[in-house]
Amino acid sequence: MRATVKDVAKLAGVSPKTVSNVINGVVFVRPETRARVEQALAELDYVPNMSARGLRNGRSGMIALALPDLLRPYSAEIVHLVVELAHERGWGVQIEQTAAEPKREFELLSKARAYLVDGLILNPVNLDDSAVLSAGPLPPLVLIGDVDQDLVSQVAIDNVAAARDLTKHLLAQGCRRIAVVGTPEIPRGSSGAGVLAGSAEAPGTAASRLRTAGYHQALEEAGVPIDPALEIGLDRWRPEGAATVVGKYLAEHELPDAFFCFTDTIASGTLSALWSAGIAVPQQTLVAGFDNILESQFMIPPLTTVDFDRRAFVEAALDLLGERMSDKNAAPRRVMVPHRIVIRNSTTR
Amino acid sequence: MRATVKDVAKLAGVSPKTVSNVINGVVFVRPETRARVEQALAELDYVPNMSARGLRNGRSGMIALALPDLLRPYSAEIVHLVVELAHERGWGVQIEQTAAEPKREFELLSKARAYLVDGLILNPVNLDDSAVLSAGPLPPLVLIGDVDQDLVSQVAIDNVAAARDLTKHLLAQGCRRIAVVGTPEIPRGSSGAGVLAGSAEAPGTAASRLRTAGYHQALEEAGVPIDPALEIGLDRWRPEGAATVVGKYLAEHELPDAFFCFTDTIASGTLSALWSAGIAVPQQTLVAGFDNILESQFMIPPLTTVDFDRRAFVEAALDLLGERMSDKNAAPRRVMVPHRIVIRNSTTR
DNA sequence: TTGAAAGCGATACCAG
DNA sequence: CTGGTATCGCTTTCAA
């Protein structure tokens, strides 16, 4: 059986309180007493029981990170940084996947309220789900990514501006017919949408909406007409879907001047589809992505994309979460992380 | 303040025990009593306190997954599956990064012993140094990946055979000078190794050693001489390092007939370096990887690689962990997951 | 079937 | 500076 504070106290000939004082090192303990206790601690190979501590303190020392799709390399980068930076603050990290199911997002909020985690970093998919936010008492919570709300702390980049900047870059390269890949498969307002409206499957994530908006803005500013036929629908932002959908598009349409992919992962699939079709990038068409994942720079050709300081992004999220955790009533804050366009070979001839 | 079982009991006019019975649904409760309790539960928006439950039961309902480098897409796939499949079993997942530091592995083991997690899935880099073997009482533990031991349950693939099979495939394509990418940067037994021996930086992970062994076996069987100059050292298995090291290699050596990269991520960097050098794959040289990550199929050209059923792999790990968790004295078991070579365009002319 | 009460392990309050 | 003691919320004997 495992040793408890009581056992340690007995062996050291002191009270449990003193042991606790030594362990937590808050109060002053007489050096000789401290030595005796530490001796006993080592002798019994004492390990504190976190459940007990959590029950007493009301804190578990753990936070949760919830992302829509853990399989994406982008998710891996976020997970990597959150785990690394949270560890520096002495927090453990529990990982959850929402798989774009608002139900899971609900579950998470109550799990946090069950004191299993002290706080939650959530990357929500659907703006509509902010309904979640209006319900009940919330645990310390920080949203990452693109949601339009003021109830909860949030860190994000300016998706509209980033998409606009990237589109401008493509326009500056002389492109006019610029396709986007990653809009909803069932366009908003189309016949099929009514059935799904308000449901979990409502088309269009916040990110896709904002990026589409930025793309439209840039086109309008340049006086280039918006052509819905250039908006290639794709709900699951994974390479296999992108390759399929772009492959099909190529078979049925004239080749666009450029492809603006809503993530680098989509760009990867797009490059693959173009390669399969024997279309050379950047000679015959251009391709750009979004996120600047580690792999982008090693794609063939290297990918032009939207970059932001991911470490600063995550650091900000943890800062905000720390604020909320130490003061439940602190006003929600929003941090915007700057972005920039990284121009690589995929858009320069 | 949050509602507790006591509050619910009071509201429903029953004892805490009855509430507990309703919640855990083990014993039979009279339907009308059950109804009253459930009413109260809903009314007070009751959420159980996991710390208290954990303290009482000695289990937290959480497992930990520790990987050396969370940034790799391969890690993302493992994390994705573990989270998904553990969730089906009602377990939460805490993620840790060991960064090849045995110290972190130690911390993990004690964390497990602190009842913060009920079990641990660990991908050790270098078992010689790993905390696992230096004993002490171990928590329920499953190793994933390549370790030669019998103390602890383990799930793995046959790395030697897989590397041998892949090398054979390259030989069958007519290759003789086959380079490998991913061996230790400081070769074992070389002058520099002594300084590091036994330290965390001791060269060569288990995976790299086993894959190298399989490669050597295939060469020997084919009567092809082993040429150390064809073993390209790389410790951190990330694309940027691979691109750098292969780029340098190309500048200084004759082009090999093929590159056998020890992970798909390394292959990605290698393809990039070859592309930069203007060398066509598969026309001038072949490239193969290991792991069959999702992205491999969309590389340019699509990558030949070693595939195994990742879902079965993770499922097995969770099964083994479950065994250990329910019976601490169960004999350690080892599960080998079968592999196969997936042949794609990068090795077929 | 349900109630009363003990106790899991760590901490904080209040004395001394 | 240190000792006793109540307490966190839940589960689980033991009785009724």
pLDDT at B134: 63
Q: How far apart are CA A206 and CA A126, in angstroms?
A: 6
Helix A159-172 × helix A206-221 angle, to 10°: 40
Residue B207: burial class (beta carbons within 10 Å; 0-12, 13-18, 19+): buried
In the predicted structure, residue B194 carries a pLDDT above the cut 50: no
Cβ < 7 Å from strand C, A residues 281-310 = none
How long is the CA A26 to C1' D4 vector, in angstroms?
20
The answer to whether A61 CB sits below 7 Å from nucleic acid chain D is no
Average pLDDT over residues B246-256: 97
pLDDT at A128: 54
Contacts of A85 in chain B (CB under 8 A): none
Distance of CA B232 to the CA centre of its chain: 24
| Residue B286 or residue B61, greater confidence | B286
Helix A50-57 × helix B50-57 angle, to 10°: 140
Inspect the interface and report whether the beta carbons of A294 and B51 lie closer than 8 Å.
no
Contacts of A72 in chain B (CB under 8 A): 76
The backbone torsions φ and ψ at residue B8, rounded to the nearest 5 degrees and listed phi first, read -60, -45
Residue with smallest Cα–C1' gap to C7: B56
In the predicted structure, residue A163 carries a pLDDT above the cut 70: yes
Helices and strands per DSSP (H, E), number in chain A: 13, 12
Query: CA-CA distances (angstroms) from residue B53 to A4, A142, B61?
Result: 18, 27, 10
Average pLDDT over residues A216-237: 96
Contacts of A110 in chain B (CB under 8 A): 47
The answer to whether B110 CB sits below 7 Å from nucleic acid chain C is no
Query: CA-CA distances (angstroms) from residue B15 to B5, B22, B313, B315?
Result: 9, 11, 46, 41
Average pLDDT over residues B51-58: 86
Average pLDDT over residues B313-341: 93
pLDDT tens-digit map of B131-181: 666 656 678 899 998 777 788 899 999 999 999 999 999 999 999 999 999
In the predicted structure, residue B130 carries a pLDDT above the cut 80: no
pLDDT at A35: 84
Inspect the interface and report whether the beta carbons of B73 and A49 lie closer than 8 Å.
no
How long is the CA A1 to C1' C1 vector, in angstroms?
35
**Nearest Cβ partner of B97 from A80, A94, A271?**
A80
- Which of A300, A311, A346 to mutate to test binding with chain B, by most B CBs within 10 Å of its CB? A300
pLDDT at A192: 39
Q: Which nucleotide is nearest to A52 (CA to C1')?
A: C9
pLDDT tens-digit map of A64-97: 999 999 999 999 999 999 999 999 998 999 999 9
Provide the 10 A C-beta neighbour count for residue A103.
11
Which sign, positive or negative, has the C-alpha torsion B252, B255, B259, B264? positive
Query: CA-CA distances (angstroms) from residue A170 to A228, A286, A291, B297?
Result: 18, 8, 17, 28
Q: How far apart are CA B8 and CA B41, in angstroms?
A: 6
Helix B16-24 × helix B31-43 angle, to 10°: 90
pLDDT at A36: 84
In the predicted structure, residue B1 carries a pLDDT above the cut 70: no
Inspect the interface and report whether the beta carbons of A95 and B95 lie closer than 8 Å.
yes
Beta bridge partners of A334: A154
The answer to whether B15 CB sits below 7 Å from nucleic acid chain C is yes
Distance of CA B155 to the CA centre of its chain: 10
How long is the CA A17 to C1' C14 vector, in angstroms?
13
Helix A73-88 × helix A310-326 angle, to 10°: 50
Question: Mean pLDDT over all residues of chain B?
Answer: 87
Nucleotides in chain D with any atom closer than 7 Å to protein CB: 1-13
Query: CA-CA distances (angstroms) from residue A65 to A120, A222, A272?
Result: 6, 40, 32
In the predicted structure, residue A195 carries a pLDDT above the cut 50: no
pLDDT at A117: 86
Chain B: closest CA distance from residue A129 (Å): 20
CA torsion A64→A70→A72→A77, rounded to 10°? 30
Average pLDDT over residues A32-40: 84
Cβ < 7 Å from strand C, B residues 41-100 = 52, 55-56
pLDDT at A205: 80
The answer to whether B27 CB sits below 7 Å from nucleic acid chain D is no
Helix (H/G/I), strand (E/B), else coil: A302: coil
CA torsion A4→A8→A14→A17, rounded to 10°? -30
**Left, alpha or beta for B189 (phi > 0: left; psi -120 to 50: alpha)?**
left
| Residue A5 or residue B135, greater confidence | A5
% of chain B surpassing 70 pLDDT: 89
Any idea what the Cα angle at residue A134 is, between residues A103 and A153, rounded to 5°? Answer: 95
Comparing C-alpha atoms, which of A82, A131, A51 is closest to residue A321? A82
pLDDT tens-digit map of B69-99: 999 999 999 999 999 999 999 899 999 998 8
List, in order, residues 6 or more apart from A107 with CB less than 8 Å away. none
In the predicted structure, residue B192 carries a pLDDT above the cut 50: no
pLDDT at A149: 77
Inspect the interface and report whether the beta carbons of A269 and B54 lie closer than 8 Å.
no
Chain B: closest CA distance from residue A82 (Å): 10
Q: How far apart are CA B91 and CA B60, in angstroms?
A: 9
The answer to whether B16 CB sits below 7 Å from nucleic acid chain D is yes
pLDDT at A162: 97
| Residue A106 or residue B173, greater confidence | B173
Q: How far apart are CA B288 and CA B25, in angstroms?
A: 54
Question: Mean pLDDT over all residues of chain A?
Answer: 87
pLDDT at A263: 97
HEC string for chain B = CCCCHHHHHHHHCCCHHHHHHHHHCCCCCCHHHHHHHHHHHHHCCCCCCHHHHHHHHCCCCEEEEEECCCCCHHHHHHHHHHHHHHHHCCCEEEEEECCCCHHHHHHHHHHHHCCCCCEEEECCCCCCCCHHHHCCCCCCEEEECCCCCCCCEEEEECHHHHHHHHHHHHHHCCCCCEEEEEECCCCCCCCCHHHHCCCCCCCCCHHHHHHHHHHHHHHHHHCCCCCHHHEEECCCCCHHHHHHHHHHHHHHCCCCCEEEECCHHHHHHHHHHHHHCCCCCCCCCEEECCCCCHHHHHCCCCCEEEEECHHHHHHHHHHHHHHHHHCCCCCCCEEEECEEEECCHHHCC
Q: Are A306 and A293 in contact (CB under 8 A)?
A: no
% of chain B surpassing 90 pLDDT: 59
| Residue A257 or residue B34, greater confidence | A257
Confidence of residue A26 (pLDDT cuts 50, 70, 90): low
How long is the CA B56 to C1' C8 vector, in angstroms?
5
Inspect the interface and report whether the beta carbons of B83 and A70 lie closer than 8 Å.
yes
Q: Which two tokens mark B290?
A: 């290991």
| Residue B195 or residue A153, greater confidence | A153
- Bridging pattern class, strands A305-308 and A339-342: antiparallel
Q: How far apart are CA B47 and CA B274, in angstroms?
A: 57
Chain B: closest CA distance from residue A191 (Å): 33
Query: Which of A296-305, B105-114, B208-217 has the least mean pLDDT?
Result: B105-114
Provide the 10 A C-beta neighbour count for residue B189.
9
pLDDT at A2: 74
pLDDT tens-digit map of B7-30: 888 888 888 878 888 887 767 778
Q: Which domains does chain B have, with CATH numbers?
A: 5-48 (1.10.260.40), 60-157+310-340 (3.40.50.2300), 159-307+341-347 (3.40.50.2300)
Beta bridge partners of A336: A156
Confidence of residue B196 (pLDDT cuts 50, 70, 90): very low
pLDDT at B148: 73
Residue A282: burial class (beta carbons within 10 Å; 0-12, 13-18, 19+): middle
Query: CA-CA distances (angstroms) from residue B44 to A112, A135, B23, B52?
Result: 17, 14, 14, 19
How long is the CA A35 to C1' D2 vector, in angstroms?
15
Average pLDDT over residues A283-310: 98
Comparing C-alpha atoms, which of B164, B144, B123, B149 is closest to residue B290? B164
In the predicted structure, residue B201 carries a pLDDT above the cut 50: no
How long is the CA A325 to C1' C10 vector, in angstroms?
21
Query: Which of A185-194, B135-144, B263-272 has the least mean pLDDT?
Result: A185-194
How long is the CA A29 to C1' D1 vector, in angstroms?
7
Confidence of residue B197 (pLDDT cuts 50, 70, 90): very low
Confidence of residue A37 (pLDDT cuts 50, 70, 90): confident
Q: Which two tokens mark A211?
A: 């990026």
Inspect the interface and report whether the beta carbons of A269 and B113 lie closer than 8 Å.
no
pLDDT at A23: 84
**Rg of the Cα atoms in chain A:** 25
**What's the pTM?**
0.91
Residue with smallest Cα–C1' gap to D9: B52
pLDDT at B238: 94
Distance of CA B217 to the CA centre of its chain: 25
Q: How far apart are CA A250 and CA A259, in angstroms?
A: 11
Q: How far apart are CA A286 and CA A269, in angstroms?
A: 14
Q: How far apart are CA A321 and CA A121, in angstroms?
A: 8
> Is residue B68 reached through a cis peptide bond, with omega within 30 degrees of 0 on the bond before it?
no
Confidence of residue B54 (pLDDT cuts 50, 70, 90): confident
Inspect the interface and report whether the beta carbons of A71 and B70 lie closer than 8 Å.
no
The answer to whether B188 CB sits below 7 Å from nucleic acid chain D is no
pLDDT tens-digit map of B92-104: 999 999 886 777 7
Residue with smallest Cα–C1' gap to C8: B56
pLDDT at A305: 98
In the predicted structure, residue B277 carries a pLDDT above the cut 70: yes
Report the residue of chain A nearest B293, measured CA to CA: A71
Average pLDDT over residues B41-62: 85
pLDDT tens-digit map of A40-72: 888 888 888 888 888 888 888 899 999 999 999
Contacts of A114 in chain B (CB under 8 A): 47-50
- Which of B1, B5, B78, B95 to mutate to test binding with chain A, by most A CBs within 10 Å of its CB? B95
Tell me the range of A146-160, B78-92, B121-135 where mean pLDDT is highest: B78-92
